[in-house]
Amino acid sequence: MQASQRPFDLSLAYPQWQGSGRHENLARGAEAAATVCGQYAPLARVPLSDGNADSAHGVRRWEAIFAQFRSAQDILARSGARRVLTAGGDCAVDVAVIDYLHGMHPSLHVIWIDAHLDANTPATSPSGNFHGMPVSAILGRAPEPMRPFLGAAIDPARFHYFGIRIGDDGDWALQRELDLKLLDPEAPIDGPVHIHFDLDVLDPREFPYVAYPEGGLGIEDAVALVGRIAREADIVGLTVTEFAPSNEEEAREGSKVIARLCEAVINPRNT
Rounded Cα distance between 13 and 241, Å, is: 11
Residue 5: predicted pLDDT: 59
Rounded Cα distance between 84 and 236, Å, is: 6
Domain encompassing residue 102: 10-270
Q: What is the mean pLDDT of residues 44-68?
A: 91
> Does residue 216 lie in a domain region?
yes
A 10 A CB-CB count for 41 gives: 19
> Does residue 5 lie in a domain region?
no
Cβ atoms of 32 and 243 closer than 8 Å: yes
Q: Burial code of 198-208, b = ≥16 C-beta within 10 A, e = fewer?
A: bbbbbbeeebe
Kindly state the helix (H) or strand (E) to which residue 248 belongs, with its residue range: helix 248-266
Beta bridge partners of 114: none
Angle between helices 248-266 and 26-37 (to 10 degrees): 40
> Does residue 14 lie in a domain region?
yes
Rounded Cα distance between 214 and 226, Å, is: 20
Q: What is the CATH number of the domain that holds 232?
A: 3.40.800.10
3-state secondary structure of 1: coil
Q: What is the mean pLDDT of residues 35-55?
A: 91
User: Which own/partner pairs from 248-254 qualify as long-range (CB within 8 Å, at least 24 positions apart)?
Assistant: 248/28, 250/209, 251/28, 251/29, 251/31, 251/32, 251/209, 252/32, 253/209, 254/29, 254/32, 254/199, 254/207, 254/209
Q: How confident is the model at residue 177 (pLDDT cuts 50, 70, 90)?
A: very high
Residue 270: predicted pLDDT: 77
> Does residue 4 lie in a domain region?
no
Peptide bond into 254 cis (omega under 30): no
> Does residue 3 lie in a domain region?
no
* Backbone dihedral angles phi then psi of residue 259, each to the nearest 5 degrees: -60, -40
pLDDT digits (tens, 9 = 90+) for 87-144: 999 999 999 999 999 999 999 999 999 999 999 999 999 999 999 999 999 999 999 9
Q: Burial code of 227-248, b = ≥16 C-beta within 10 A, e = fewer?
A: bbbbbbbbbbbbbbbbbbbeee
Q: CA angle at residue 97 from 92 to 103, to 5 degrees?
A: 135
Residue 6: predicted pLDDT: 66
102 Cβ contact list (under 8 Å, min separation 6): 108, 138, 151, 152, 154
Q: How confident is the model at residue 1 (pLDDT cuts 50, 70, 90)?
A: very low
Q: What is the mean pLDDT of residues 9-15?
A: 98
Q: How many domains does the chain have?
A: 1
Model confidence at 263: pLDDT above 90: yes
Rounded Cα distance between 237 and 14, Å, is: 14
> Does residue 118 lie in a domain region?
yes
3-state secondary structure of 221: helix
